[in-house]
Structure 1
Amino acid sequence: MVTQQHTDKVLQGSRDPKNYRPNAGLAVFSPKGYVFAGHRAGASGPYQWQLPQGGIDAGENSLVGAYRELEEETGISSDKVELLEEIEPWLYYDFPEDILKRFKGKYLGQRQKWFAFRFTGKESDIKLDLHEPEFDAWKWVPLSEVPELIIPFKRDIYTHISEKFSHWTNLTD
């Protein structure tokens, strides 16, 4: 359940947007209401599953970036999904100290625009190796289980989107 504490952690608050990399996040729902989760390529250990997400390029709007990332990470083209919803406002997460030290970049974290899509294609339309693979495996999972699969520093956002997109799950067997 989304608490006010989770919501407060993912909203902008006093964060300066220019210190957070713009990013699109995608919840891709199967016709039965499960969501696509990808296993990070080459990663080991717990919490290596996530929903597709990636940077929005300069001059690109968030929806265009979402469609591009969808194809780059899953091989799913935009004609194989139906746009269901966009979450307002941007959601934020901060990188942990060890990641900040390793990347030494200009960003303190990411700000994400989240979209829900319904997958209308066939499973054979999912091609993880269409571009440089970001995922080495994938599965359909209940949206409510996704926060437990994700790396802990992103968990508040995943808890938030699990609540916000729950009406798209309509799980059936």
Structure 2
Amino acid sequence: MIDRSGFRPNVGIIVCNQRGEVFWGKRVGHRSWQFPQGGINVEERPLEAMYRELHEEVGLLPEHVSVMAWTRGWLRYRLPRNMVRRHVHPVCIGQKQKWFLLRLRTDESAFDLNATHKPEFDGWEWRPFWSILPEVIYFKRTVYFQALHQFAPFIQGVPAECPDDCLPEQLERRGGGPDSSADLATAGNRDAR
């Protein structure tokens, strides 16, 4: 499903533990790492898509996590020109994402990267909250920064501001993605459901 502007609706998921560290997954067959994410199906609400993707990608069930917050608006990134498949219609120029912050409520043994027949990750680790930004592929960095920046106040012990080497202007010098904006919603808001 691609919208009229060429963006594919998607959910992004940040799972944190009690220490304020975040789940960081290594993609199958690649050297790249990322947060769990995936497309929103037709007739599916973002919250439903998040729970489906959470299970498909890391094996967690709704009872394993608490929803702490989500972005109300969409965070967008554009694909680099060489990644846009112009021969496929409708043409997808990027993704618009609704991000969710989750707290793990169970033991980490609940993670199961082989929960489905086509795993997305073949490894994972807990990482300090801001530490992942330099490793994010350049065209997604700004969206990752925006999601982390909005969610930092919800995690006790995590600085609300990122270190200097992860500031947007630093990321832009390394090829960060396009600017976008979003408002923050807490778990009490019904917009994501």
**TM-score, length-scaled by structure 1:** 0.83
Q: Which runs of 5+ in 1 are unaligned?
A: 1-15
Cα contact 1:34–1:169 (8 A) shared by 2: no
**What is the deviation of 1:103?**
8.1
Deviations 1:129-149 (A, max 9, x none): 111110110011112112112
Matched, 1:140 2:126: yes
Cα contact 2:69–2:102 (8 A) shared by 1: yes
In structure 2, what is the equivalent of residue 169 of structure 1? Answer: 155
Write 1 or 2 for the structure with the bigger share of helix: 1
2:94 partner letter:
G
For residues 1-173 of structure 1, what are the structure 2 equivalents within 5 Å? 18-44=5-31, 48-101=32-85, 104=88, 106-131=91-116, 132-171=118-157
Structure 1 CA distance for aligned equivalents of residues 124 and 87 of structure 2? 27
Cα contact 1:93–1:153 (8 A) shared by 2: yes
Cα contact 1:49–1:150 (8 A) shared by 2: yes
Structure 1 CA distance for aligned equivalents of residues 154 and 127 of structure 2? 13
Cα contact 1:80–1:119 (8 A) shared by 2: yes
Report how many aligned residue pairs link the two structures. Answer: 154
Q: SS at the partner of 2:9? A: strand
Q: Which runs of 5+ in 2 are unaligned?
A: 159-193
Cα contact 1:143–1:169 (8 A) shared by 2: no
**What is the deviation of 1:40?**
0.8
2:74 partner letter:
W
* Runs of 4+, deviation exceeding 2 Å: 101-106, 168-172
Structure 2 CA distance for aligned equivalents of residues 128 and 63 of structure 1? 21
Q: SS at the partner of 1:165? A: helix
**What is the deviation of 1:36?**
0.6
**What is the deviation of 1:159?**
0.9
**TM-score, length-scaled by structure 2:** 0.75
Q: SS at the partner of 2:142? A: helix
Identity of aligned residues (%): 37
